[in-house]
């Protein structure tokens, strides 16, 4: 890790030259930029990058992890699965805007211009993905004694076992449907495995219904491990699609299978509920959850050997253009390979997986002490997953057990289907404490779990609200009110991540525990607003979207711009998951054009093209893709002698700034601010292992150097690895 940065604010009278003389290359954040006084520069009108292409570029960076020799083999396969999962969501959520659905024109204004390039890039990405699997990962797995056998590769004993498995576990669940006027094309669920079959001859009634559909139930495992007795000392697997393909003819006795293919259709899965027109949002969403599986088709995947007449038939059936067809050289759903990874037997010291990492209990939170006593002495910063999330659980657990705690308020966005924190909230309500849960029912793909938690909380007397109509509650906050003598004291937890114990071990996030009276009073006002929808009073420290967050971020960027124009130190370092909001991008460009040094650490989609001469010369964009999913949002501004550092739940996207309840809070404690800089910003600017540099055209190249990985360095510091 780099040494600590000296970012103490210089005195107002200190000459700028003296401040600049102290700057060194080792201090990428503290170092002021050398700027000459200049007249304001009006940036030329330029075009931002396409959002969908930017998302696909992120998936190329994830795919690059599957190619890295320094990544364990099974983890490389996992990255390949992540790409498939990401692409599924990309098509489920993003691509429908580009397609004419239900006779309506595409919703995307530039659909005609961008649909071709977006689909072409998606096709290229998928092709490369399957090439990495077939040419690199599968041969390497075979060398490690891990094999996925096709029907032709199985020996006699293995074929016999598969045949018996098919008859026992699969065949009873399959009902082939031969299409005719009385047997129309069946409803095919989103992302389900199916087969289309062309048959010769006539059916039992003498009719020539030549096409049949076989739907494969989701309850049958997609990857099956063969028992040791037929594995020849190896770990051998077969795919369900291969099992069915080998025995497909058995489903159609007295007829010949003359053509077939596996296929999978992806459907538009973005739930749409008119909140202004429903009386109970929870009930409306629950009714719509089933419909998600049968939305408009947006993509068709078939085996690469699928006869053209069969995929043409499917395209017509699903009302899809030819561009929506993906010919797949392998199984149509690579996400299922994650179940194979889970089934592989590895030794504790195996190099096929990442070495186990056990996050340590933070030293800043004495394990045996009351967390309330600890917070009375000062705020606590938690850096996950390098530090354990357990203090947050302990914070709530102590509140539930403490008879002096009167009220608990919490936002719930992605808690997961199995949550200790939700169980603790339920227990708190049972003990008679005032529990208020702000449950976001529209957290995409977590709607059902959140509905279930809402119902369980209500059943024990907790007050459950669903935020503000038309806005998602994305801000993460937990507020505890405790009687201490004759007064009521507040304690709060704010976070850049979710209250989800699983993702807390896999995502990088920053959490903040505080008993600061002013900050906790702000949090109280936020909960009052979410419950009553009354106007938010003046918040002293918290920034809240859609009210003050966007304006405040732009104001800070303008201060940086003005400082640069005045020849003063001017610096921006912003770390986030996505950068899409045009006004914020314009303000970044203005600051850079004025001479400020701007570094952006953007994990995912970034539509700002950096490094364009005369426009974005002073802006650098890098992305970190490592072992953990980068999820932290941190924003640093320096304008002359003025510094500000915020943590936030929000990315710089229009939806976060104007269509969500989001929170950002300043880190005012100098030691904690320095720690955020030293751990969450500086190492990521210097990372030479997991970093990618964005080029002006929106593509990325590896930023490999002799510098260490930021994530690995933090693991060594906090986990001793």
Residue 631 annotated in ligand binding: yes
User: Are the C-beta atoms of 176 and 212 separated by less than 8 Å?
Assistant: yes
User: Are the C-beta atoms of 514 and 647 separated by less than 8 Å?
Assistant: no
What is the distance between the terminal CA atoms of the chain, rounded to a whole angstrom?
14
Give the list of residues 6+ apart from residue 288 with CB closer than 8 angstroms, or none.
Answer: 271, 272, 273
Q: Given CA atoms 100, 104, 106, 112 in this order, what sign does their dihedral have?
A: positive
Residue 218 annotated in ligand binding: no
Residue 466 annotated in ligand binding: no
User: Are the C-beta atoms of 384 and 504 separated by less than 8 Å?
Assistant: yes
Instruction: Tell me the C-alpha distance between 371 and 225, whole Å.
Output: 47
Residue 50 annotated in ligand binding: no
Task: Please report where in the chains the tokens 């910063």 appear, as a residue.
Answer: 381
User: Are the C-beta atoms of 552 and 637 separated by less than 8 Å?
Assistant: no
Task: Please report where in the chains the tokens 């941190």 appear, as a residue.
Answer: 634
Look up residue 581 and give its two tokens: 């909001």
Q: Is 474 a catalytic residue?
A: yes
> Would strands 543-545 and 570-576 be described as parallel, antiparallel, or unpaired?
unpaired
Residue 190 annotated in ligand binding: no
One-letter-per-residue 3-state SS of 402-464: CCCEEEEEEEECCCCCCCHHHHHHHHHHHCCCEEEEEECCCCCCCHHHHHHHHHHHHHCCCEE
Give the list of residues 6+ apart from residue 291 with CB closer than 8 angstroms, or none.
Answer: none
Catalytic residue among 247, 383, 384, 474: 474
Instruction: Tell me the C-alpha distance between 287 and 202, whole Å.
Output: 42
Residue 561 annotated in ligand binding: no
Number of H helices, E strands in the chain: 21, 27
Q: How far is CA 535 from CA 526, 540, 547, 550, 656, in A?
A: 10, 15, 10, 18, 19
Burial label for 228, CB within 10 Å (0-12, 13-18, 19+), is: exposed
Instruction: Tell me the C-alpha distance between 90 and 154, whole Å.
Output: 36
The DSSP line for 267-308 is: E-------GGG-S-HHHHHHHHHGGGGGS-EEEEEEETT--H
User: Are the C-beta atoms of 649 and 509 separated by less than 8 Å?
Assistant: no
Q: Mind telling me the catalytic residues? A: 474
Binding-site residue ranges: 86, 414, 444, 507, 603, 631
Feature table: binding site for Mg(2+): 414, 444
Binding-site annotation, residues for ATP? 86, 507, 603, 631
């Amino acid at each position: 890790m780099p040494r600590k940065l000296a970012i103490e604010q210089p005195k107002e009278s200190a000459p700028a030259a003296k401040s600049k003389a102290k700057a060194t290359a080792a201090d990428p954040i503290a170092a002021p930029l050398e700027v000459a006084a200049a007249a304001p520069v009006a940036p030329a009108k330029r075009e931002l990058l396409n959002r969908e292409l930017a998302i696909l570029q992120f998936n190329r960076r994830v795919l690059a992890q599957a190619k890295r020799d320094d990544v364990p083999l099974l983890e490389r396969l996992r990255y390949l699965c992540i790409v498939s999962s990401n692409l599924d969501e990309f098509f489920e959520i993003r691509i429908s805007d580009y397609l004419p659905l239900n006779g309506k024109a595409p919703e995307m204004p530039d659909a005609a211009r961008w649909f071709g390039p977006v689909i072409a890039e998606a096709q290229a990405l998928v092709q490369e993905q399957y090439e990495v699997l077939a040419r690199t990962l599968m041969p390497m797995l075979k060398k490690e004694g891990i094999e996925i056998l096709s029907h032709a590769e199985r020996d006699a004993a293995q074929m016999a076992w598969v045949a018996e498995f098919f008859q026992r576990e699969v065949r009873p669940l399959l009902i082939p449907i031969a299409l005719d006027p009385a047997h129309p094309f069946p409803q095919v669920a989103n992302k389900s495995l199916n087969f289309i079959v062309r048959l010769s001859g006539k059916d039992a009634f003498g009719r020539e219904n030549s096409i049949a559909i076989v739907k494969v139930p989701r309850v049958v495992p997609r990857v099956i491990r063969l028992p040791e007795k037929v594995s020849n000392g190896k770990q051998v697997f077969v795919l369900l699609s291969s099992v069915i393909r080998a025995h497909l003819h058995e489903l159609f006795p007295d007829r010949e299978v003359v053509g077939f293919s596996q296929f999978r259709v992806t459907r538009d899965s973005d739930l749409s509920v008119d909140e202004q027109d429903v009386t109970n949002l929870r009930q409306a969403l629950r009714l719509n959850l089933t419909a998600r599986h049968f939305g408009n088709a947006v993509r068709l995947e078939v085996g690469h050997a699928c006869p053209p007449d069969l995929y043409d038939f499917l395209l017509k059936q699903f009302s899809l253009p030819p561009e929506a067809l993906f010919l797949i050289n392998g199984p149509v759903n690579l996400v299922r390979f994650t179940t194979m990874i889970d089934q592989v037997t590895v030794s504790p010291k195996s190099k096929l997986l990442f070495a186990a990492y056990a996050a340590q209990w933070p030293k800043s939170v004495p394990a045996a002490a009351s967390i309330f006593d600890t917070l009375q002495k000062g705020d606590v910063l938690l850096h996950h997953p390098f530090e354990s999330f357990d203090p947050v659980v302990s914070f709530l657990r102590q509140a539930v057990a403490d008879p002096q705690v009167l009220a608990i308020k919490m936002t719930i966005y992605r808690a997961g289907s199995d949550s200790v924190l939700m169980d603790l909230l339920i227990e708190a309500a049972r003990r008679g404490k005032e529990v208020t849960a702000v449950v976001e029912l529209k957290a995409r793909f977590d709607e059902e779990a959140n509905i279930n938690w809402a119902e369980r909380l209500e059943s024990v007397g907790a007050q459950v609200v669903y935020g503000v109509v038309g806005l998602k509650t994305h801000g993460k906050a937990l507020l505890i009110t405790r009687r201490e003598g004759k007064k009521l004291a507040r304690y709060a937890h704010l976070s850049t991540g979710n209250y989800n114990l699983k993702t807390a071990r896999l995502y990088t996030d920053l959490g903040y525990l505080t008993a600061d009276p002013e900050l906790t009073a702000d949090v109280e006002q936020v909960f009052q607003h979410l419950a009553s929808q009354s106007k938010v009073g003046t918040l002293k420290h918290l920034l809240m979207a859609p009210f003050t967050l966007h304006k405040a971020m732009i104001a800070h960027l303008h201060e940086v711009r003005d400082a640069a124009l005045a020849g003063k130190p001017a610096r921006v370092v912003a770390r986030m998951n996505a950068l899409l909001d045009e006004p914020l991008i314009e303000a970044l460009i203005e600051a850079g054009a004025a001479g400020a040094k701007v570094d952006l650490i953007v994990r995912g989609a970034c539509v700002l093209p950096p490094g364009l001469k005369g426009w974005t010369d002073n802006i650098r964009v890098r992305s970190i893709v490592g072992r953990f999913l980068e999820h932290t949002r941190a924003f640093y501004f320096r304008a002359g002698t003025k510094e500000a550092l915020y943590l936030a739940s929000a990315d710089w996207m229009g939806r976060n700034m104007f269509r969500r309840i989001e929170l950002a809070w300043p880190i005012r404690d100098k030691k904690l601010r320095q720690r955020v800089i030293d751990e969450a910003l500086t190492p990521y600017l210097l990372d030479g292992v997991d970093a990618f540099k964005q080029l002006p055209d929106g593509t990325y190249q590896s930023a490999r150097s002799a510098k260490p990985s930021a994530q690995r360095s933090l693991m060594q510091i906090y986990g001793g690895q």
